[in-house]
Amino acid sequence: MSGFYRNLLLLGIALVGSLFVGNNINAQIKPNVIVILTDDQGYADVGFNGCKDIPTPNIDRIANNGVKFSNGYVTYAVCGPSRAGIITGRYQDRFGFGRNPLLAPQDTTQGLPLSEEMLAKTLSRSGYTSTALGKWHLGGHKSQYPLKRGFDEFYGFLSGGHQYFPEKWTLNDVTEIKTQFDGYNTRLMRDNGRVYEKEYITDALSREAVSFIERKAGAPFFIYLAYNAPHAPLQATKKYLDRFTHIKDKKRKTYAAMVSAVDDGVGLVLDKLEELGISENTIVFFLSDNGGPEQHNASDNGVLREGKSSLYEGGIHVPFAVQWPGQIPAGKVYEYPVSSLDIFATAAELAKATPKNKLDGVNLVPYLKGEKTGAPHSALFWRKFDQKFYAVRSGNNKLIRYKSDTDEIYNLEKDISETQVLDLNDENHYSDLKASYKAWESELKDPLFLGLRLSKKYNKQHPERFKMQSPYLIDTRIAKAPKGYELTWADEFDKEGKPNDKYWSYEEGFVRNKELQWYQADNANVSKGVLQLEGKKEIVKNKNYKKKSKNWRKNRKTAEYTSASIKTRNKFSFQYGVLEVRAKIDSRMGMWPAIWTLGVDKKWPANGEIDLMEFYQQDGEAKILANAAWANEKQQAVWDSEKIAYSEFTKHELDWAEKFHIWKMDWTEEYIRLYLDDVLLNEIDLSKTLNPDGFNPFHQPHYILLNLAIGSNGGDPSQTKFPGTYEVDYVRVYQKKQVK
Ligand code: CA
């Protein structure tokens, strides 16, 4: 090695080294954020609030390592709106989320409005990777899925609650629900698709949280760990039930077991942070989304009045603690009222991330460190729109109107149980409280959607609520012709069974490129509105086998894979126009899906080939190709080819392969332009595509071919789990309107 190159190499090592150091410093400046949210847990159902019959040693670790909030509030007394407040850092009534959303998977409005930004999205701009685990309840339409709202990963369910045992998950996904509460019985989702989970749900969510920490530690991350426990239905495994033989009441015993399962999960998360040495670089919040519905799930709000859904303290005053070892004091009790809205503001500021919208919370860290004194909030507010109930707390006084036409004032410092109604006078700050509430209320929006309590009314207004097709498959977009064009041919693949034989025929056996698959009609089927070309690992005898043949199509005794290729040859062809294909490709190793056209006259390549899409491995890298080919003097192919690294697509959209995409060819006498999701990938100038004899293969009609090849350019499929599926939602051809 010459001195020059050695020095260059050393410089490279030094640069790489300094980059790593830079990353570490960066990671220390931006702490990881973990929000552990329980569902319907009572104020007094954690050890740090004095619980006697349910030990919660791990949840208590958070309070012991950090700060317990003795006046910690959420922004609403039931799940959905409270969560909308937490995840946006804004009072949910500011954006019309004043009701618990219905599970209505076809309704874009049942969920968090797109005007709002979730914490995951804000943090992503500061380099955070995030996951949402467990209960979502922020919208069941696919535009509202966690990966659409700024999370990088999701593992959980969309509905407002869920069955705890896998054997109860009898529905594949929200496409199969017929009633609001069917949402409790769906399989869990990973990202945008469904999975086959085997564990008790609480254990599964804890496992996923630990796995995320293991995978993401080293760069800043955010975990929204939203356990559905201990929300009804009350279900627990023997492992946890056996810990509570001392509790005789069966309901309370099961509830205790569910809380204990959460506590174990919290322990696993905290242990993992410690094991990886990142505890001091991670801020962990713990809270419940609303007070316990005591009658319903046997929770206990202790001295607080009433529970879930009430604006008395039992509904909105929750167990709440935070740890950030080495940064905020340990074992401290913080008494000023704080809000779940403060989680967002704190996290965003620590992450140096700028939220899109104005926040209602405050960064609590300076208060907890004692750098700022006094109350973080001049007042906290609550509104139940439909009932016209409200509450405001400022200082120690709380004004509330609840299940009554009259206002009440309580002094919470002296009377946290809200037993002594005070006079509505200025000594008790009545007019100030009322005025501050009115000022806040004037900034709010009416609810944008009908909520859980109005499910029947909603069903009447939306008779099609549960009539839907799988959101994982098709979009059922209506064909829309470009200006001056009309739809002249289409296959929407909307009839179950085999592809329409008026349009399509099948390729058979070994066909080209020494690919591994045996093409057969069996592997092409239409189901739920899409064409599925399925690659299978199965051995098929080669009908044309000749032991000593030099032809690879004959000298292979068997095929180890089967797949399908269908084409419109002799059934449909077109010349010029727009060909649009909506498809979802299997991007795993070994797969080589394609959309192409071939000229009807002459042999390949003189007939002309257009590849709207090919996906295959080249030089060890997956690529998406957009090509055209014609012939040279030797009857070999001349290519005009664009090859784009597949990572270019997935780096912007991690779940790119989970989705359908639109491949489009715009073909005129002058050019062919090939697009993917409206991005031009290649333009072929047709003045240059002449065969040596002067024949232009792109001035003749072409037929369409859809296929899933395996092996060859697709790469080695031996490590890939089969089947592999290539799905096509539709094929449409638009042509210029004929002038009459
Ligand atoms: Ca809840």
Q: What separation in Å is there between the alpha carbon of 311 and the centre of ligand 1?
A: 14
Q: How confident is the model at residue 328 (pLDDT cuts 50, 70, 90)?
A: very high
pLDDT for 7 equals 42
Q: What separation in Å is there between the alpha carbon of 259 and the centre of ligand 1?
A: 14
Region 297-304 average pLDDT? 98
Phi, psi dihedrals of residue 714, rounded to the nearest 5°: -65, -15
Residues in the chain: 740
For residue 566, what is the DSSP state? E
Mind spelling out the 3-state secondary structure of 654-720? Answer: CCHHHCCEEEEEEECCCEEEEEECCEEEEEEEHHHCCCCCCCCHHHCCEEEEEEEEECHHHCCHHHC
pLDDT in tens, 337-368: 999 999 999 999 999 999 999 999 999 999 99
Q: What separation in Å is there between the alpha carbon of 84 and the centre of ligand 1?
A: 12
Residue 470 in tokens: 């799988």
Residue 683 in tokens: 């333009």
Residue 11 confidence (pLDDT) above 60: no
Domain boundaries, the chain: 34-388, 485-495+565-736
Q: How confident is the model at residue 469 (pLDDT cuts 50, 70, 90)?
A: low
Candidate ranges 25-34, 137-146, 479-488; pick with highest mean pLDDT: 137-146
**Do 495 and 515 contact (CB within 8 A), yes or no?**
no
Q: What separation in Å is there between the alpha carbon of 136 and the centre of ligand 1?
A: 11
Residue 1 confidence (pLDDT) above 70: no
Assign domain 485-495+565-736 to its CATH architecture: Sandwich (2.60)
Give the strand pairing for 702-710 and 591-599.
antiparallel
pLDDT, mean over the chain: 93
What is the residue whose two structure tokens read 């074992």? 331
Percent of the chain with pLDDT over 70: 94
Q: 467: number of CA atoms within 13 Å, CB side? A: 4
Residue 136 in tokens: 């979502």
Minimum mean pLDDT range among 27-31, 184-188, 329-333, 692-696 = 27-31
Question: CA 517 to CA 524: how far, in whole Å?
Answer: 14
Q: What separation in Å is there between the alpha carbon of 39 and the centre of ligand 1?
A: 4
To the query of whether residue 51 is one of the catalytic residues in this protein, the response is: no
Region 466-473 average pLDDT? 62
Question: CA 76 to CA 384: how far, in whole Å?
Answer: 8
Instruction: Count the neighbouring beta carbons within 10 Å of the beta carbon of residue 30.
Output: 21
Question: CA 39 to CA 645: how far, in whole Å?
Answer: 44
Q: What separation in Å is there between the alpha carbon of 93 and the centre of ligand 1?
A: 17
Give the strand pairing for 530-541 and 671-676.
unpaired
pLDDT for 479 equals 77
The pTM score is 0.67
Marked catalytic residue, from 79, 162, 231, 661: 79
Q: How confident is the model at residue 740 (pLDDT cuts 50, 70, 90)?
A: low
Q: How confident is the model at residue 173 (pLDDT cuts 50, 70, 90)?
A: confident
Q: Which residues of 504-526 are buried (b: 16+ CB within 10 A; e: fewer)?
A: bbbbeebeeeebbbbbbbebbbb
Give every CB contact of residue 110 below 8 A, 6+ residues apart in sequence. 101, 102, 103, 104, 139, 140, 141, 144, 449
Q: Is 473 exposed, middle or buried (0-12, 13-18, 19+ CB in 10 A)?
A: middle
Q: Which of 133, 123, 41, 131 is nearest to 82 (CA)?
A: 41
Residue 657 confidence (pLDDT) above 90: no
Region 535-555 average pLDDT? 96
What is the residue whose two structure tokens read 């729109």? 385
**Do 437 and 381 contact (CB within 8 A), yes or no?**
yes
Bridge partner list, 532: 525, 727
Question: CA 101 to CA 451: how far, in whole Å?
Answer: 5
Residue 467 confidence (pLDDT) above 80: no
Q: Which of 593, 601, 544 is nearest to 570 (CA)?
A: 601
Q: What separation in Å is there between the alpha carbon of 535 and the centre of ligand 1?
A: 44
Q: What separation in Å is there between the alpha carbon of 330 and the centre of ligand 1?
A: 28
pLDDT in tens, 663-680: 999 999 999 999 998 888
Q: 463: number of CA atoms within 13 Å, CB side? A: 0
Q: What separation in Å is there between the alpha carbon of 214 and the centre of ligand 1?
A: 29
E strand intervals along 39-99: 67-69, 72-73
Q: 375: number of CA atoms within 13 Å, CB side? A: 14
Which secondary structure element, helix H or strand E, spans residue 338, and what is its range?
strand 338-339
Which DSSP string corresponds to 571-629? Answer: T--BSSEEEEEEEE---STTEEEEEEEEESSSSTTTT-EEEEEEEEEETTEEEEEEEEE
Instruction: Count the neighbouring beta carbons within 10 Å of the beta carbon of residue 496.
Output: 10
Dihedral angle computed from the Cα positions of residues 343, 345, 351 and 357, in that order, rounded to the nearest 10 degrees:
130
Residue ranges near ligand 1 (ion) with Cβ within 5 Å: 39-40, 79, 289-290
Residue 12 confidence (pLDDT) above 50: no
pLDDT for 195 equals 80
Residue 315 confidence (pLDDT) above 90: yes
Q: What separation in Å is there between the alpha carbon of 316 and the centre of ligand 1?
A: 10
Residue 447 confidence (pLDDT) above 80: yes
For residue 738, what is the DSSP state? P
Give every CB contact of residue 25 below 8 A, 6+ residues apart in sequence. none
What is the residue whose two structure tokens read 């552990």? 36
pLDDT for 6 equals 41
pLDDT for 477 equals 63
Question: CA 441 to CA 430: how far, in whole Å?
Answer: 16
Bridge partner list, 398: 393, 410
Marked catalytic residue, from 51, 137, 141, 162: 137
- Alpha helix ranges (H) inside 30-65: 57-65
pLDDT for 128 equals 97
Give the strand pairing for 189-190 and 153-157.
antiparallel
Largest Cα–Cα distance in the chain? 105
Question: CA 356 to CA 373: how far, in whole Å?
Answer: 28
Region 451-462 average pLDDT? 90
To the query of whether residue 141 is one of the catalytic residues in this protein, the response is: no
pLDDT in tens, 197-216: 899 999 999 999 999 999 99
Question: CA 713 to CA 719: how far, in whole Å?
Answer: 16
Q: What separation in Å is there between the alpha carbon of 37 and the centre of ligand 1?
A: 9
Superfamily, domain 34-388: Alkaline Phosphatase, subunit A (3.40.720.10)
**Do 713 and 617 contact (CB within 8 A), yes or no?**
yes
What is the residue whose two structure tokens read 């850092």? 89
Q: What separation in Å is there between the alpha carbon of 716 and the centre of ligand 1?
A: 49
Give every CB contact of residue 341 below 8 A, 6+ residues apart in sequence. 75, 85, 86, 89, 90, 91, 359, 360, 361
Q: What separation in Å is there between the alpha carbon of 287 and the centre of ligand 1?
A: 11
Q: What separation in Å is there between the alpha carbon of 163 and the centre of ligand 1?
A: 15
- The amino acid sitting at 643 is K
Residue 279 in tokens: 């505890």
Region 47-52 average pLDDT? 98
Q: What separation in Å is there between the alpha carbon of 41 and the centre of ligand 1?
A: 8
CA distances from 230 to 42, 49, 603 (A): 9, 17, 68
Minimum mean pLDDT range among 171-185, 413-427, 665-679 = 171-185
Q: How confident is the model at residue 16 (pLDDT cuts 50, 70, 90)?
A: very low
Instruction: Count the neighbouring beta carbons within 10 Å of the beta carbon of residue 529.
Output: 19
E strand intervals along 271-312: 282-288
Residue 81 confidence (pLDDT) above 80: yes
Instruction: Count the neighbouring beta carbons within 10 Å of the beta carbon of residue 694.
Output: 6
